[in-house]
Chain A
Amino acid sequence: MNLHDPRVPNVQPRTGTRRVPPTGIVARVSAIAIHAHALSKRFGDLIAVDAISFDVKKGESFGFLGPNGAGKTSTMRMIGATSPISGGELIVLGLNPDTDGPTLRSQLGVVPQENNLDEELTVHDNLMMYGRYFDMSRAEIRERIDELLDFVQLTEKRDSKIQALSGGMKRRVVIARGLINDPDLFILDEPTTGLDPQARHVLWDRLYRLKQRGVTLIITTHYMDEAEQLCDRVVVMDKGRIVAEGSPRALIDEYAPGEVVELRFPIGVLEEIGGQIQDLASRTEVLADRALVYTGDAEQTINTIRESSLEPETVLARRSTLEDVFLRLTGRSLVE
Chain B
Amino acid sequence: MATPLSLRVVEAEARVYRRTWRGSVASSFLNPVLYMLAMGLGLGALVDANMPGGIDGVSYLTFLAPGILAANAMQTGATEGAWKVMGGIFWAKTWHARLASPISIEGLVLGHLLWSTGRVVMVSVIFAVVIAAFQVAPLFESLLAVGPAVLLGAAMVSATTAFTVRLKEQAGLPMFFRFVVLPMFLFSGAFFPISQLPNWLQPVALITPVYHGVELARSIVIGAPPAVTWWISTAYLAAWIVGFGLLCVKPLRKRLMP
A interface residues with partner B (beta carbon < 8 Å): 43, 80, 82-84, 101-103, 105-106, 108, 110, 112, 114, 116-121, 125, 128-130, 132-135, 177, 181
Q: How far is the CA of A120 from the CA of B16 in the complex (A)?
A: 8
Q: Tally of A-B residue pairs with Cβ under 8 A?
A: 72
| A177 vs chain B, min Cβ distance (A) | 8
Cβ-defined contact, A134 with B12, below 8 A: no
| Chain A CB within 8 A of B250 CB | no
What's the tally of chain B residues with a CB closer than 8 Å to chain A?
A: 25
Q: Does B102 contact A (CB under 8 A)?
A: yes
What residues on B are CB-neighbors of A116 within 8 Å?
92-94, 96-97
Known contacts A130-B97, A133-B12, A135-B102; can you find 10 more A-B pairs with CB under 8 A? A82-B99, A102-B1, A116-B96, A121-B15, A121-B16, A129-B12, A132-B11, A132-B12, A133-B101, A133-B102
Q: Which residues of the partner chain A approach B1 to less than 8 Å between Cβ atoms? A: 102
Q: Which of A114, A133, A181 touches B98 (beta carbons < 8 Å)?
A: A133
B5 interface hit (Cβ, 8 Å): yes
Residue on A nearest B14 in the bound complex, by CB:
A129
Interface majority SS (helix, strand, loop, mixed), chain B: helix
CA A118 to CA B93, docked complex, whole Å: 8
B100, CB-defined interface residue at 8 Å = yes
Q: What are 30 A-B contacts with C-beta separation under 8 Å? A: A43-B258, A80-B100, A82-B99, A84-B257, A101-B104, A102-B1, A102-B5, A102-B102, A102-B103, A102-B104, A105-B101, A105-B102, A106-B102, A117-B94, A118-B16, A121-B16, A128-B15, A129-B11, A129-B12, A130-B97, A130-B101, A133-B5, A133-B9, A133-B12, A133-B98, A133-B101, A133-B103, A134-B101, A135-B5, A135-B102
B contact residues around A105 at 8 Å (CB): 100-102
Q: Are B8 and A133 in contact (CB under 8 A)?
A: yes
A133 CB contacts on chain B under 8 angstroms: 5, 8-9, 12, 98, 101-103
A112 touches B97 (CB 8 A): yes
Q: How far apart sit A32 and B8, CA to CA, in the bound complex (Å)?
A: 32
Contact of B8 among A83, A102, A103, A135 (CB under 8 A): A135
* Chain A hits for B104, CB < 8 A: 101-102
Cβ-defined contact, B16 with A82, below 8 A: no
Instruction: Select from chain B the residue with minimum beta-carbon distance to A104.
Output: B102
Q: Are B94 and A118 in contact (CB under 8 A)?
A: yes
A119: chain B residues at CB < 8 Å are 92
Whether the Cβ atoms of A82 and B100 lie closer than 8 Å is: yes
